[in-house]
């Protein structure tokens, strides 16, 4: 995988902690780390949006925090899809308070047409149109994560 090679080259001298935001990014993360040839460490964080859950509000509750300290370490956040960017913006602000050496973002999918907050995405797999996608870890109400490919749900509104 091309992204794994780029990440390996960029962090050859000081390997990062890859932080996966559960749950959608697990399959991508699993494939991504196998495509690296540096000694990365991995950690996980689970978040959920406050509110009625139908819209990304950007106010996020941490359900499961990192187990590793990221202070003075390079951090690479691994996401399944960046949509409005609100969730990631919150996570970035939260992680910044722990004084990492750097934070970059790697996302498999970038639905940039719906962005509400300007974020710098350092590694992007694919830019996708404004359609709801499932499979390869991505869910609709917790289902379809096990599809081996990414599929578009034509009739599904993006919440």
Q: Which is nearer to ligand IMP, 4 or 85 (CB)?
A: 85
C-beta of residue 84 within 8 angstroms of C-beta of residue 117: yes
Residue 118, CA distances (Å) to 4, 14, 73, 85, 153 in order: 25, 27, 24, 7, 26
Q: Which of 44, 123, 132, 136 binds ligand IMP (CB under 6 A)?
A: 132
Closer Cβ to ligand IMP, 8 or 57, answer by number: 57
Which residue has tokens 């950690």?
43
Closer residue to ligand IMP, CB minimum distance, 35 or 92: 92
Instruction: Identify the active-site residue in 83, 118, 122, 130.
Output: 83
Q: 């780390």: which residue's tokens?
A: 33
**CB of residue 61 vs ligand IMP: minimum separation in angstroms?**
13
| Site for ligand IMP contains 85 (CB under 6 A) | yes
Q: How far is the CB of 14 from ligand IMP (least distance, A)?
A: 27
With a CB cutoff of 8 Å and minimum separation 6, the contacts of 141 are none
**Cis amide bond preceding 23, omega within 30:** yes
The answer to whether 83 is a known catalytic residue is yes
Catalytic machinery residues: 83
């Amino acid at each position: 995988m091309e992204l794994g090679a780029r990440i390996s080259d960029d962090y050859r001298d000081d390997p990062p902690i890859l932080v996966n935001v559960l749950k959608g990014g697990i399959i991508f993360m699993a494939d991504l780390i196998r495509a690296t040839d540096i000694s990365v460490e991995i950690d996980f964080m689970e978040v959920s949006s406050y509110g009625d859950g139908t819209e990304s509000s950007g106010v996020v509750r941490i359900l499961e925090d990192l187990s590793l300290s990221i202070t003075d370490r390079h951090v690479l956040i691994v996401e399944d899809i960046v949509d409005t960017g609100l969730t990631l913006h919150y996570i970035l602000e939260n992680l910044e308070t722990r004084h990492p050496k750097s934070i970059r973002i790697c996302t498999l999918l970038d639905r940039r047409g719906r962005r509400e907050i300007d974020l710098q995405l350092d590694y992007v797999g694919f830019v996708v149109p404004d359609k709801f996608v499932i499979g390869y870890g991505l869910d609709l109400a917790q289902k379809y994560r096990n599809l081996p490919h990414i599929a578009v749900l034509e009739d599904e509104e993006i919440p």
